[in-house]
Amino acid sequence: MATTTTRTSFLLLFLASLFSLSVPSSSSSTDSFLFGGCTEQRYAPDSPYEFNLNSLLTSLVNSATYSSYNNFTILGSSPQDVVYGLYQCRGDLSMPDCATCVARAVSQVGGLCAQTCGGALQLQGCYVKYDNTSFLGVEDKSVVLKKCGPSVGYEPEAMGRRDAVMAGLANAGGPYRVGGSGEVQGVAQCVGDLSLDECQDCVSEAIGRLKNDCGTADFGDMFLGKCYARYSTGKGHLALKDHGDKLSNDGEKTFAIIIGLLAGVALLIIFLTFIRKMFGEHGK
């Protein structure tokens, strides 16, 4: 049975990789790696935790075909086997782009955090995280990534527009916020498990840190544990998608491939669960 579980783990990572390679990258705004990290605690190969983690990662990829955010808790026979996880796509992504991004993120975090109990990975277009300790619904304003572009000196017009865009993001409602003035673009987003008040608190903190730390930089990124704020005073850094863009044929084909393969993975997991129960009953 251990060999079967190990093969399942490899198969899940292979399928996630297959999703990510099914079409060429459509835009660096979706696929580029921003940051990733893993917990120190590790799990044993072929353990119940590994089986539950594979189920969780499959659920994340599956859910991303129809929702831009979701979280899951996979229960185990004992408390140490419980796995918590979530994913979130950038608010302007289409569902095919969201599904492809999450599949890529799951594939990459599986390689980055092999056999660790927790991991998180942020691509330009989406975010995934899992752990054996619940973090769902918990506000986190710790700095995860700060990146400031080169200083352009104080240009009153550009900095005035930047500050106006940031103020607009701070005052806007909802978990995903975008604004612009001329070539200045700004975007902010909270993870979907925060309340509206927690989201507002997190975004305000991110914007305040961004303006203070990046000063007169031509772009800035501030990623906190549960939200981020970003701006660019020129074209290219954020490359947000136009909500009016039509889905490409390649994107629709990728979407169909993901749906078909996920159906196969779901059947495989059900079959392996049945086999495990059968072997368990015979072993009693």
User: What residues pair up with 73 in beta bridges, in sequence order?
Assistant: 84
Query: For position 235, what pLDDT does the model report?
Result: 60
pTM, 2 dp: 0.78
Instruction: Report pLDDT for 240.
Output: 67
HSE, CB side, 13 Å, CA atoms: give it for residue 163: 10
Q: In what order do the strands lie in the sheet with 219-224?
A: 143-148, 219-224, 227-232, 184-190, 176-181
* C-alpha to C-alpha distance for 100 and 162, rounded to whole angstroms: 32
How many residues does this entry show for the chain?
284
Question: Tokens standing for 142?
Answer: 């710790």
Predicted pLDDT at 22:
42
Q: What is the pLDDT of residue 152?
A: 81
- Give the pLDDT score at 157: 85
Residue 8's identity, in one-letter code, is T
Residue identified by tokens 């808790």 is: 73
- The stretches in the chain having pLDDT less than 70 are 1-29, 235-236, 239-284
